Structure 1
Amino acid sequence: MVGPTRVEVLFAPHRRKDPNQGLDLLDQRLAAARRRLDLSLFVFSAQELANRLAELQQRGVAMRVLADPGFASRSFSEVLDLLGLSMPDRFCKLEQDNNPWRQPIQGVGTPRLARGDKLHHKFAVIDGRTVITGSFNWSPSAAHGNDETLLIVESSQLAGHFTREQDRMWQGAELGITARLQRKLERIHRTCGRGTPRAQASANQQP
């Protein structure tokens, strides 16, 4: 196998104001996307990264986003933003700075998994060249609370392997607002309506 042209490793956690923290590094790498972005994530709860994806969408970057089915419909999941949805939590509160997209993308969904299986990947492929992977979930807890590894590799050959894994999971994936998600939204909205904003003090209490 041809060696990668560049490898970058980051170990979390960091303080929130640390310029080297993992969410800032992810944001910088995502901002460099020009044509195509594949994401396969277990937990995606970082609002700033969802906002970056919205900016990429406006620039015309093609995206395929897969998330774990058990996580995707949680109230703090940024997958909901991409679908143009907001979901109150069990206290009828919305996450701080919630920002559902006005123009939801079609390329977001959940793979069909074997019973008891989880989509435990945490990877991105940018423009068929840059691979982001490791134990690092795309969440505040991964950046600031957990001991995690974030690995960035510049290699078209490695990117090809990860793209083929994305292709495999994409086949048969349920895209958009599934019937299961719609039923959950209806149940919560009957209880909470559209919800009320979460207080600033608890805004970062997310996985």
Structure 2
Amino acid sequence: MKNSVAVATIVAIVFAAGWFMQPITPHQECVESTYAVFSPGADGELLALLESANRSIDVELYQFSHEPLLEKLVNAREKGVQIRVILEPRLEGNDNVEAARFLGKRGISVRWASLSFARTHSKFAIVDGSVVFVGSPNWSYYAMRKNREAAVIVKGGDAVEEFNKVFEEDWEIAKPA
């Protein structure tokens, strides 16, 4: 029995080594461009990105309470930009409930993320279907101004299309706030 386990372990290690040593060829159209954004201070980049929206902003978040970002979505809505927001409904405290009320009263579509997931811990925004802001920061004061957080802004390519696809799937199964 010990020999069988040893042989199986060696085979698994050899297979894994061979698998992981395979060259990875990135898809040529993965992204047009990408750049890093760090907190403290990530909200400046994010506010500028939201300001640049002409047609749409889709947002999926675990926590949303940072007033400048809430206001920027309202400003975009007033310019005629279509806004859709998905929030995690099981967050402790009232941050997301208050954000949903605030945005909803101003004509912004807000839905609660599906309970089919243990949590919706995503933190991303898609602007005009072509640019994504994604990373570790919640949209809260501390995440944007005090914590060390990391994010990227991705422009174009297949990666952005994947975010669009996931957002549409999540929007379809989300419940109105």
1:39 aligned residue: 59
Change over 3 Å in CA distance of 1:72–1:167 after alignment to 2: farther
State how far apart, in whole Å, the 2-side matches of 1:22 and 1:75 are.
Answer: 20
Deviation string 1:14-41 (CA, Å, 9 cap, x unpaired) is: xxxxxxx111111100000001111000
Q: Which residue of 1 aligns with 2:104?
A: 83
**Map 1:8-157 → 2, pairs under 5 A:** 8-13=35-40, 21-71=41-91, 74-75=94-95, 77-84=98-105, 101=106, 104-105=107-108, 107-114=109-116, 117-157=118-158
Give the conservation status (yes or no) of the 8 Å contact 2:88–2:112.
Answer: yes
CA RMSD of aligned residues (A): 1.9
Give the Cα separation in 1 of the matches to 2:152 and 2:83: 21
Contact 1:73 1:80 in 2 (8 A): no
Q: Is the alpha carbon distance of 1:72 and 1:39 closer, same or farther for their aligned partners in structure 2, counting shifts above 3 Å?
A: farther
Report how many aligned residue pairs link the two structures: 149
Distance across 1 between alignment mates of 2:127 and 2:95:
27
Greater Cα offset, 123-132 or 144-153: 144-153
Q: 1:7 to 1:75 in 2, by over 3 A?
A: closer
Q: Secondary structure at the match of 2:152?
A: strand
**Aligned partners of 1:140, 1:57: CA distance in 2, in Å?**
22
Q: Secondary structure at the match of 2:173?
A: coil
**Given the two structures, how large is their TM-score scaled by the length of structure 1?**
0.66
SS at match of 2:159: helix
User: CA shift at 1:156, angstroms?
Assistant: 3.8
Q: Distance in 2 between matches of 1:108 and 1:72?
A: 18
Quote how far apart the aligned CAs of 1:72 are: 9.0
Q: Percent identity?
A: 28
Counterpart Cα distance in 1 of 2:173 and 2:159: 24
The 2-side partners of 1:173 and 1:73 are apart by: 20
Q: Is the 8 A contact 2:30 2:159 kept in 1?
A: no
Write the distance in 2 (CA, Å) between the matches of 1:112 and 1:167.
13
> What is the DSSP-based 3-state SS (H/G/I as helix, E as strand, rest coil) of the residue aligned with 1:133?
strand
Tell me if the contact between 1:10 and 1:149 (Cα under 8 Å) persists in the aligned partners: yes
The corresponding residue for 2:31 is 4
Residue identity opposite 2:153 in structure 1: I
Larger radius of gyration: 2
Deviates more, 1:139-148 or 1:74-83: 74-83
Match of 1:158 in 2: 159
* Conserved 8 A contact 1:128-1:156: no
SS in 2 for 1:53: helix
Secondary structure at the counterpart of residue 69 of structure 1: coil
Aligned mates of 2:77, 2:92 — CA distance in 1: 20
| Deviation, structure 1 residue 171 | 1.6
